Amino acid sequence: MIYTLTGNLLAERTVEVGRWHPGQTQRASSERFQVGGKGINVARMLSRLRSPCIALAFTGGAAGAECEAWFRRQTVRVRTFATSTATRSGLVVRGENQPETTFLGPDAPPDEAALSACAAFLERVETEAFVALCGSFPGWSEPAAQPVRAALAAIAQRGRLVVDSYGPPLLWATAQPAALLKINRSEFAGLLPTGSTESSAHAFERMRTAMPVQTWILTDGREPVWLGERDRATERFDPPTTQEVSATGSGDVFLACVLHAALAEGKSWRDAVEFALPLAAANTAHPGVAAFAHPLLELIP
């Protein structure tokens, strides 16, 4: 079983418009609602791959209720923790021959009761299960989140924690014996001291050998992916070239495919990366998240 933990859920609307300009009234030709957040995206792709998974998230307010209703219409299994803070909302605007633009509402830190409920749940997960901490986590460094941090630290000690985060949770994760840390290049650069002239290659080698994280995957959009495992030389993989429609969620699709191949099918991390790259690339060539077709998906029983 794989559990994904989303600390900053998103009640998201996508509107399709013609060419649009700031300062003018825009009328959409279509609108749809979906729930976003890295852990939700990962769980959606894992579900398509038939990997057993449960998405964990916090919901609150009217936006949270709309997310709960959306969850009930999906095939993804979800366990939510009620919070008094309203779930953040977002708007995605897709215009004619224009870059996709996303507007995000303010972060919504879960309240103490919700964090305690989440921690209690994490303390009860099966010892052989993996937990993936995904995306930002408002309030991560506050005392109220200590039970969640402690529960995840215990999971990390079992070698069952996966992290794809940034900000304070990422810094915390680099000090844990996580099974996998997936990080993009801009987040990786944030780990370097301000003004550092150290090359990314040198920093990657230094960190992956000095820190307790077991496996590192560094992504950079269309640029090569780096895989760093203990006691092995760093490997580089070139993503397939595609005509990008929307990059939203492609990193989450990549992580889900890596986890499916490595944890559900028992592939090496190297083979898991090779399996994931064409599927993540296919996601960029389609609107939405985990809604694309690909020959590899036809092989999933």
Quote the pLDDT of residue 244.
Answer: 66
Quote the pLDDT of residue 291.
Answer: 67
Identify whether 146 is part of a domain. Answer: yes
Identify whether 21 is part of a domain. Answer: no
Quote the pLDDT of residue 94.
Answer: 84
Indicate the SS3 state at residue 225: strand
Identify whether 199 is part of a domain. Answer: yes
Are 66 and 11 in contact by the 8 Å Cβ rule? The answer is: yes
In degrees and rounded to multiples of 5, residue 17 shows phi and psi of -130, 170
What tokens does 259 get? Answer: 């986890």
C-alpha 129/C-alpha 197 separation (Å) is 40
| Pick from 220, 253, 224: nearest CA to 237 | 224
Identify whether 202 is part of a domain. Answer: yes
* Residue stretches of the chain with pLDDT short of 70: 244-247, 288, 291, 299, 301
The CATH number of residue 47's host domain is 3.40.1190.20
Quote the pLDDT of residue 247.
Answer: 67
- Residue appearing with tokens 């649009």: 20
Identify whether 26 is part of a domain. Answer: no
What residue type is 228 in one-letter code? G
Identify whether 56 is part of a domain. Answer: yes
C-alpha 93/C-alpha 110 separation (Å) is 27
Quote the pLDDT of residue 245.
Answer: 65
Q: Work out how many domains the chain is built from and give that number.
A: 1
Are 57 and 37 in contact by the 8 Å Cβ rule? The answer is: yes
Question: Within 13 Å and on the Cβ side, how many CA atoms surround 197?
Answer: 0
Identify whether 92 is part of a domain. Answer: yes
CA 207 to chain centre: 22
C-alpha 189/C-alpha 126 separation (Å) is 35
Quote the pLDDT of residue 296.
Answer: 78
Q: Is 166 left (phi over 0), alpha (psi -120 to 50) or beta?
A: beta
Are 35 and 11 in contact by the 8 Å Cβ rule? The answer is: yes
Identify whether 274 is part of a domain. Answer: yes
Domain that holds residue 77: 2-13+32-298
